[in-house]
Chains A and B, each alone.
Chain A
Amino acid sequence: GNSVTQMEGPVTLSEEAFLTINCTYTATGYPSLFWYVQYPGEGLQLLLKATKADDKGSNKGFEATYRKETTSFHLEKGSVQVSDSAVYFCALSVANAGGTSYGKLTFGQGTILTVHP
């Protein structure tokens, strides 16, 4: 089956520190990969995505590269801010041969990020 594994949290950083949140996946078919962010009391917001191997998704200073050889999609940011404090979810959607997994995202367990001033 399909699954996503994220690094254990929580992650605590000082402002302007470098961020890496590891994400690896297993998938049958051809996955698209996503990072979503959830702020307290809110739903999930799409942060970035990549749809094929070696694609790099980027948004708001965050980046992640789809690595098929290592089945990874690690999230990075060069300089975090207090406002980046949130829960980050790695997710995948699979397009199987002959069809798609309609409407289904498979999520990792989430990583809580706290950034201190």
Chain B
Amino acid sequence: KAGVTQTPRYLIKTRGQQVTLSCSPISGHRSVSWYQQTPGQGLQFLFEYFSETQRNKGNFPGRFSGRQFSNSRSEMNVSTLELGDSALYLCASSLTGQGFYDEQYFGPGTRLTVT
């Protein structure tokens, strides 16, 4: 069974631009979560989607948004990029998104560098 895939793996953008990252979950998984990983803040939850609906959201500004398609693939978008948005963005999928019952499987991440 194929794992979680994320594209692209690396991105370099300029301040003020916008960026879209893509995540394909494991087949059959309907929940997709996004995380930001930085050396200073560690791993922080961005949001979670299930059946094309955002069910949960972390404490990030509105410049960070996402969506999910009917095949469970998900995208996240960051508008008006800032230097502080440089990070590894991780996507994780699970069957239900209810961590008490099932576990999340992570992709390799997209490394975003903002210059």
Contacts and interface: CB of A to CB of B under 8 A. Distances in A.
Q: Do A and B actually bind?
A: yes
Interface of A: 30, 32, 34, 36, 41-46, 49, 51, 89, 91, 93-95, 100-110
Given A43-B90, A45-B106, A102 B56 contact: yes
Contacts of A102: 31, 48, 50, 55-56, 97-98
7 contacts: A43-B107, A44-B90, A103-B97, A103-B104, A104-B33, A104-B56, A104-B99
Given A43-B107, A46-B105, A100 B45 contact: no
Contact of B56 (A36, A45, A101, A109): A101
Interface of B: 4, 31-33, 35, 42-43, 45, 47-50, 55-56, 58, 90, 92, 94, 97-100, 103-109
A30 B48 contact: no
A58 to B, nearest CB: 15
Contacts of B94: 103
B56 A43 contact: no
Contacts of A44: 90, 92, 106
A104 B48 contact: yes
A95 B100 contact: yes
Contacts of B103: 34, 46, 49
